[in-house]
């Protein structure tokens, strides 16, 4: 079998254009990656700054869970 799995026709890829490179390099040029990374960083910052989401907007704290009584 000639060629490789990415070029099923077996034609050479010497068309004068550079190869796109591996996915992990191309991914960092994609706008969807940066939108996702920004949203994830914002969610992490909110989680950390609110004390594990124990404080809710409006200044009311959630009631603490009572300790279970020994049975």
Pairwise CA distance, residues 21 & 55, whole Å: 45
Is the CA virtual torsion 5, 9, 14, 17 positive or negative? negative
Per-residue pLDDT of the chain (71 residues; tens, 9 = 90+): 554 566 555 555 556 667 778 887 888 888 999 999 999 999 999 888 887 766 666 666 666 777 776 65
pLDDT at position 32 is 93
Statement: the pTM of the whole predicted model exceeds 0.75 = no
Pairwise CA distance, residues 13 & 11, whole Å: 6
The residue ranges of every structural domain in the chain are 20-55
């Amino acid at each position: 079998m000639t060629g490789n799995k990415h070029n099923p026709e077996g034609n050479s890829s010497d068309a004068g254009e550079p190869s796109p490179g591996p996915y992990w390099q191309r991914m960092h040029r994609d706008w969807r990656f940066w939108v996702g990374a920004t949203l994830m960083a914002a969610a992490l910052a909110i989680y950390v700054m609110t004390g594990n989401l124990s404080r809710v907007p409006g200044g009311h704290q959630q009631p603490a869970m009572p300790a279970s009584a020994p049975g």
